[in-house]
Amino acid sequence: MNYKRWIFIAVFLFGTGIALGLATPAIDSPPSEYITAFEEQFADILTLPKPLIALFIFLKNTSALLISFVLSPIFCLVPVLALIINGWMIAFVSTLVIEEESLGFLLAGLLPHGVFELPALILGQAAALSFGTTAVLALFKKERRNLLLPGLKRNLKYLVVALALLLPAAIIETYITPLLLS
């Protein structure tokens, strides 16, 4: 299958997650409680020097994509869930932030690093979906097994591009986003 189709499928799944996040009913607790709980959870990390924070963000995002890719042959469940859950989280948290702050605050917090991070997510998960599907088909159809290694090589190239995009995303998220939000 053409890689552009996998990109389309990944965007569709991510968009489905966004729609679900926007459709999630309002919560009883004020949004500031959720934001405070999130800040408390990552308080220790935020006390680290900025280069270590950027490294932590990069490694966290990299490991998420790598795990999704490696586990994708299990009927593509991990990449599908990763796309839907990430879309849901972005939409759900965005509605909370807009309610508590403003649309401008949300855009300042998401756009600078999101320009790199969201394409990385889509590219990486599309590669995982493509490889996972190839692996599943190779498992069940003997004539498809010869496509497994070329499919792995092709999808690893896309995965490397996605991982490379995560580095500027982590640097921007660490150094520029906090300046824009303050």
Number of alpha helices (DSSP H) and beta strands (DSSP E) in the chain: 8, 0
CA-atom Rg of the chain in angstroms: 18
pLDDT tens sequence across 50-67: 999 999 999 999 999 999
pLDDT tens sequence across 14-52: 999 999 999 987 666 565 666 666 667 777 777 889 999
Whether pTM exceeds 0.85: yes
Measured distance CA(89)–CA(95) in Å, rounded: 10
Least confident of 2-11, 17-26, 158-167: 17-26
Measured distance CA(95)–CA(128) in Å, rounded: 29
Residue with tokens 């896309």: 158
Q: Which two tokens stand for residue 2?
A: 């053409």
* Secondary-structure breakdown of the chain: helix, strand, coil percentages, each rounded to the nearest 5: 85, 0, 15
pLDDT tens sequence across 84-137: 999 999 999 899 888 888 999 999 999 999 999 999 999 999 999 999 999 999
